[in-house]
Amino acid sequence: MKRIVFLLVGALLPLGVQAAQADHIKASHAWIRLLPANLPAGGYVTLDNESASAATLVSAHSATYASAMLHQSTQDPSGNSTMRMVERVSIPAHGRLALAPSGYHLMLEQATHALKPGDMVAITLDFADGSHLPVSFLVRPANTSP
Amino acid sequence: MKLSRFARLVCLSAMLIAGLLLAGCQRQEQAMPWELTDISGHMPDLAFHLTDDQGKAVSAADYRGKVTLLYFGYTHCPDVCPLTLAHLHVVLQRLGPLADDVRILFVSVDPARDTTEVLHQYVTAFDPHAVGLTGSPSDIEALTKRYRAAFTREPNKGGGGYDVSHSSGIYIFDATGKARLLATPSDSQDKLVHDLHLLLSPAGAT
C-alpha cells in the first residue's frame, strides 16, 4: 500500500509542478531535404505551443546524425544570404514557430547511414527546461518544393 | 514660296513618320512586359572560363543558343541554395520541352570543397538542365565581380566546417549571352515562367 501511494505521488508530482515545455509542443510537417554525397541536410518542422507560457528550443540531437544544429538563414537588404548558428529560439505562448526553408532550420551533418526519400528519421528537440520532444522526420528528395 | 510650302510638307511628313516610329517603338516595349527586373544594357554579357561538373573545361560560348540562369552557391549550403534550385526545377518543369533550351549554371563559390564529383551529384539531384561550375578561386572571383555578386567565407565553425555568405540573385542571359533579367529567390515561379516564355519566344530573343 505504501509503495502504491509512493508511486501515485511520483506519477502526479510532475503535473503538480509546472509541466515541461516539451509536453505542450505539437510538432507537424517534419521533413528533411536529403542531399547527395552525405552533404549537410536541412531539417524543417512546424511547432505549435499549446501552453499559456512560452517555450524555448535550445538544441536538437539524433542518433542518425553526428551533428544537429539550430541554424538561421538571413538575407541582408543587398541580397546577400548568410547562415548562422542560433543558441535558442522562443515559441510564444499559444504561438507557432515554423522551421522552414530560408529561415530557421536544423543543420544535420554526417548521417551515420545512407538515407533515401521516404525514410523516417527520429530527431529529439531539446527545450530550455531540460525537457525533450522526440519527432519523426520524413526524408524527402533534394528538389522538393515545400 | 512654293519651295517653302514643299519644305513645310516634308517637315510635317517627317514629323508624322517620326511620330509613327515612336509609337511603334512604344508598342514594342509594351509587348515585353517583363515581370522580373530588366537588366538589359546594365550588366556585361556572360563570359567565363571554368570547369563543369563532368570535369570539362567550358566557357560561356559553350552555352550560346541556351537561355542561362546564373546562380552562385555552394554544396555545403543546406537551406537557401537547395530551396532556390528546387524552385528553378519547378520552373523548368513548367516550361515543358522548352526547358531543353535553358541551362541553370550553378557556380560554386566554395571551390576548396566543391569537387566536380560532389558538384555533379549535387546539381543532378535537382534538375537535368542544371550544370555545376567550379574553377580556380581567382576565376570564380572574377565572375562574381563581373556581376557584382559578393561572397565571403565566414569564420571556421567547429570540426573544420564553415559557411559562405553569398549573393542570392539569379542572373538570366538570353541565347546570345546578353544579360537580360535579374530574379531573386523570392520571385514567384509564375514570374520566372512568364519571363522565360517571353525570352524563349522569337520576340523576346532580341
B47 touches B62 (CB < 8 A): no
CA distance B53 to B41: 30
Read off the CATH number of the domain in which A70 is found.
2.60.40.1890
Q: What is the mean pLDDT of chain B?
A: 86
Residues B57, B63, B64, B70, Cα dihedral to 10°: -120
DSSP letter, residue B149: -
Q: What pLDDT, in 10s, does the model give residues B53-75?
A: 999 999 999 999 999 999 999 99
pLDDT tens, position by position, B165-176: 777 899 999 999
Q: What is the Cα–Cα distance from A14 to A17, expressed in whole angstroms?
A: 5
Taking only the tens place, the pLDDT of each residue in A13-44 is: 444 455 799 999 999 999 999 999 999 999 99
A79 assigned to some structural domain: yes
The total of structural domains in chain A comes to 1
| Helix, strand, coil % over all residues of chain A, rounded to 5 | 15, 50, 35
| Cα–Cα separations (whole angstroms), residue A3 to A8, A9, A14, B142 | 9, 10, 18, 76
Q: For residue A100, what is the nearest residue in chain B, using CA coordinates?
A: B79
Q: What is the domain range of residue A43?
A: 21-140
Residue B154 sits at the chain A interface (C-beta within 8 Å)? yes
Distance CA B202, CA B109 (A): 34
- For the entire predicted model, the pTM comes to 0.82
Say yes or no for a CB contact (<8 Å) between B185 and A35.
no
User: Grid coordinates standing for B129?
Assistant: 538542365
Whether chain A has a CB inside 8 Å of the CB on B201: the answer is no
CB B154 to CB A82 under 8 A? yes
3-state SS class at B7: helix
pLDDT at B166: 72
Exposure on the CB side of residue B141, measured as CA atoms within 13 A = 5
* DSSP designation for A43: E
Classify residue A12: in a domain, yes or no.
Answer: no
Q: What length does chain B have?
A: 206
CB of B75 within 8 Å of any CB in chain A? yes
- Residue pointed to by grid coordinates 536544423: A106
Q: Quick check: is A3 in a domain? A: no
Residues of B with Cβ-Cβ distance to A31 under 8 angstroms: none
Q: How far is CA A117 from CA A36, A99, A139, B19, B78, in A?
A: 11, 20, 5, 62, 16
Inter-chain CB proximity A35 and B90 less than 8 Å: no
pLDDT higher than threshold 60 for residue B152: yes
Cα B92 from chain centre: 14
> Is the predicted pLDDT of residue B25 greater than 60, yes or no?
no
In a domain, A134, yes or no: yes
pLDDT score, position B8? 57
Model pLDDT, residue A14: 47
Q: Does residue B108 sit in helix, strand or coil?
A: strand
State the complex-level ipTM: 0.82
